[in-house]
Structure formats: structure tokens, C-alpha cells
Amino acid sequence: MRAMETSRSLQRQVLTTLLLSIAGVMLVALVLSALLLRFTLQREFETRLRTTAQDLQATVTRGRDGAIDLGDFTPDMAFSERYSGWYWLVSDGNAVVARSRSLVAESLPIGGVGETRPMEGPRGESLVALALPVRGENDLSITVAGPKSAIDRALLNDLWIVVGSVVTLGLMLMLVVWSQVNRALRPLRHLAEDLGRLRTGVLDEVPPSRFSELNTVVTLVNGLLADSRNLVAHARDTAAKLAHGLKTPLAVLAARFGTGGANQDPKVTDAVDSMRRLIDQNLKMARAARASAAFSDIVPVRPVVEDLVFAFSHVFRERRLVADMDIPEDAAFRGNRDDLQEMLGNIIENAHAWAESRVRVSAGRNESGGLTIAVSDDGPGFPDSIVVAPAPDNSSSRADNAARPAQSNGLGLRITRDIAARYRGRLELANLTERGAIATLRLP
């Protein structure tokens, strides 16, 4: 079944959403921080104005002669710099009676006692001013002003710290999110890999996950798999039972209508032969289809070969064949014993059927650690038409037609090839230089 093709990625979607959200939160945090900073700076600015004004308010007096005495009022240096924007003045009604050095000879708009208010300075600059009355001197008032630009300068000076902090925090958060999303999706990727291995037959079932959320999926998949296997096994068993069940009635027909039977009829015998071939073919194909590398026992090769050679030495007893075996004790097949027996049975039977006098079975490990089992005979060899170099994927192997001169229909070799392919192995057929044939089974 083909997977639905989609360019959407869960990882990309989650990351995009989270990173954009973080960026948005960063932006909001930045704006709020800037506003807060500005508010704080403005409060600080106003406090400075008020402190200066209160200092002046506390020290300024009018002498008996009407002269204004500033007492020990000592404003900071900014009030001394010419047109610095930081100004103070003492007014008597509308007349200025004292002023800061920074005002030189200029004045400030007078009025609005008690609250800070914006105003324009002597040079047209924007100022914020605070006016306070001098206690006990009804006509006297104090005005202290500062440049509004001082707030903006301070804001600009401090804003980079805020921006730096928010951006650093945001980037760290993004990094954590990116790593956590990747980490969170890793079990999902492992699950996908396990499902892939399950499909190729390396795994028998999906292994449990360390995460409860995925274990639910694993349990469901394994349950579905078990159901599916049971269904297939049931169908195959039913087919096998049906096929087996048909063999006895067919044998009755063969006995009744065959040579020497009660009602000899070659047409019925031929039909029975056809049905037998069909049943054999389907049963064998079903066995090949059931072969699976997932059931990986360690099966020693030697006893399986010994059993088969023993059996075929009886089947072909009249031929008086000599069978040699060169199989190391430790040669083992990773898979199902029945599958190994089915693969070897076909090629060993084939060798016995066509050998003149000798059959040889050898096994060993190749350079890459794979198992190689070779079965050779000194018979007439395979027809040239089927001896081909097998493709790596076994697809062009002509074991389908692997018949020795006439007779055999090659089903056995085809079954061997099919089962080998299920184990990612292959069957190679070749003729020997002298006389005879060799069938080589290469298994991982």
C-alpha cells in the first residue's frame, strides 16, 4: 500500500508554530520592557525635577529688603551649563527674581503650580517643568525644568540592555524548543524505523517503547499484526487442509481410473495429475509465502543436510549414489528450520535426481559472514538457458524454468529461490567445467 504523499512535516509545523510564538512573545516583551523603562526613566526625571524644586523651595527666602536669598542651594552642574535644558528660576508674580546660570538671561513660561507640564525652552527645545510655590511667600514660585530629550537619551542608552536580554532569552528558548521537539519526535522516528524493519521481516513485532503514549500505538500495531497473522495463518491452514483433504479423494480417483484400476481412463488420470500438480504448486507457494526472516532461530546446517541426504539416499536407493558432505559444525542458518529444510530439500533432491554417481553438499561462510551452501552433482547439468548470472536482487534468476533435460517442472528450485529472497539471499545455478551442475544458496 502506498503511503499518502504529503509535504507537511509534523516537526516543521511544531517548530514553526513554537518559534513564531516565541518571536511574538519576544516582541511583546520588548515593547513592554521599553515602555516600562521609559516610564521608569520618566519617573526618575520627574523625581529629579521635584527634588531640585524642593531643595530650592526649602532654601529660598526673601530678605527684609525684598532681596531673594537662595541660601545654600547648590544645584547639580547641569543647571550651570548654558542652555543645557536644565533650568530653574524663582519668580515673583510674573517677574523673574532668580534663575539658573543655564538660563543665561532667558526666562521660562510661568504658571501651572504643582504638576509637571510640557513647555518650550528658550531655544525652542521641549521641556518638562514643575512649578512649586515658596511657602510663606505667596507671590514667590519656583519653576524647575529639564529637557524632554534627556528621557529619550536615557531610554536609548538603557534599551540595548533590554533588547539584548530579551533576544538572548528568546534565542535560548528557541534552542531549547528546537532540541525538545527533535527529542520528542525521536521515538516517533524510531517507531517508523521499527515498522520498516517489521515490513522487511527483520522484526517479528514492534518492540515496546519507553514512552507510554507510543506504547499505546505499539500495542495497537502489534495487535493488528497478530490479528492479520492469525487471519492469514487461518486462511493458509484452511487452504492447506483443503489441499490435503483433496489428496485422498484424488488418490481414490487415481486408483480407480489409473492403470490397473477398476475403470481405467487415461483422461481421468491426466486430470488427477493436473490437479495434483496444482495442489503441490499451491501448497509449496504457500509455504514459500509463509517463510519469514523474522522468526530467527539459529539452525545448525549439518543436521538438516544429514537428514535430507539420508532421506534421498533412500528415495534414490537404486541409483547407488555416493553423497559427500563438507559442512563445518558451526555452520548455522539464522531463520526458520522448516524454511532451511524446504530450500535445501529442493536442491538436494534435484541433485540426487540427476546425479550419475555422486552428490556433494558443502557449506561455509563467505567474506561478509554470509552462509553459502553449495549442492553439486555429476549429472548432465542445467540447460544453458537457465544458467545465468543472477542479478543482485535475484530478479533475473531463471530458476522458474529450471528444469533438467525434460521432466522436472522446476517448481522446487523456484520455491527455493523465493524463500531465499525472503531472507535476502539468492540461489545461483551453474554448470561445472567438467560435468555436472552446482546450485549455490547464498544466505545472509
Partner 1 sequence: MRLLLVEDDASLAQELAGLLRRADFAVDICATAAEALEAGLSEPYDAAILDLGLPDGDGLDVLVAWRAQKSRLPVLILTARDRFANLVAGFRAGADDFLAKPFRNEEVVLRLMALIRRGAGGAQGPIVCGDLTLDAASGEMTMSGLPLKLTAFERRVLRYLLIRRPAVVSRTELSDHVYERDTDRDFNSIEVIVSRLRRKVAPCQIETVRGEGYRLDAGHGD
Residues near partner 1 (CB under 8 A) are 244, 247-256, 258-262, 269, 272-273, 275-276, 280, 287, 307-308, 310-311, 314-315, 317-318, 338, 341-342, 345
Instruction: Tell me, letter by letter, the H, E, C secondary structure of 138-207.
Output: EEEEEEEEEEHHHHHHHHHHHHHHHHHHHHHHHHHHHHHHHHHHHHHHHHHHHHHHHHHHHHHCCCCCCC
How many Å apart are CA 412 and CA 425, to the nearest integer?
A: 16
Neighbours of 181 (CB within 10 A): 19
CB 60 within 8 A of CB 73: yes
Number of residues assigned to the chain: 444
The least CB distance from residue 278 to partner 1, in Å, is 12
Q: What is the DSSP letter of 8?
A: -
Q: Whose Cβ is closer to partner 1: residue 179's or residue 264's?
A: 264
Kindly state the smallest distance separating residue 345's Cβ from partner 1, in Å: 3
Measured from the CB atom, the residue of 175 and 255 that comes closer to partner 1 is: 255
- Smallest distance from partner 1 to CB 350, Å: 12
Closest to partner 1 by CB, 308 or 402: 308
Instruction: Kindly tell me which of 280 and 400 has the beta carbon lying closer to partner 1.
Output: 280
Beta bridge partners of 358: 322
Q: What angle do CA 336, 339, 340 make, to 5 degrees?
A: 90
Q: How far is the CB of 272 from partner 1 (least distance, A)?
A: 6
In the complex with partner 1, the residue whose CB is nearer, 139 or 273, is 273
- C-alpha cell recorded at residue 269: 488420470
Least distance (Å) between residue 370 CB and partner 1: 23
Which residue, 156 or 406, is less far from partner 1 as judged by CB?
A: 406
Least gap, CB of 349 to partner 1 (angstroms): 8
What is the DSSP-derived secondary structure letter of residue 113? B
User: Which residue lies nearer to partner 1 by CB, 184 or 315?
Assistant: 315
Q: In terms of CB distance, is 363 or 415 closer to partner 1?
A: 415
Question: What is the DSSP secondary structure assignment for residue 107, as one 8-state letter?
Answer: -
Strand 437-443 to 371-377 pairing: antiparallel
Helices 212-257 and 148-200, packing angle to 10 deg: 20
122 to 52, 83, 84, 85, 377: CA distances (angstroms): 20, 8, 10, 9, 118
User: Shortest distance, CB of residue 325 to partner 1, whole angstroms?
Assistant: 15
Q: How far is the CB of 8 from partner 1 (least distance, A)?
A: 50
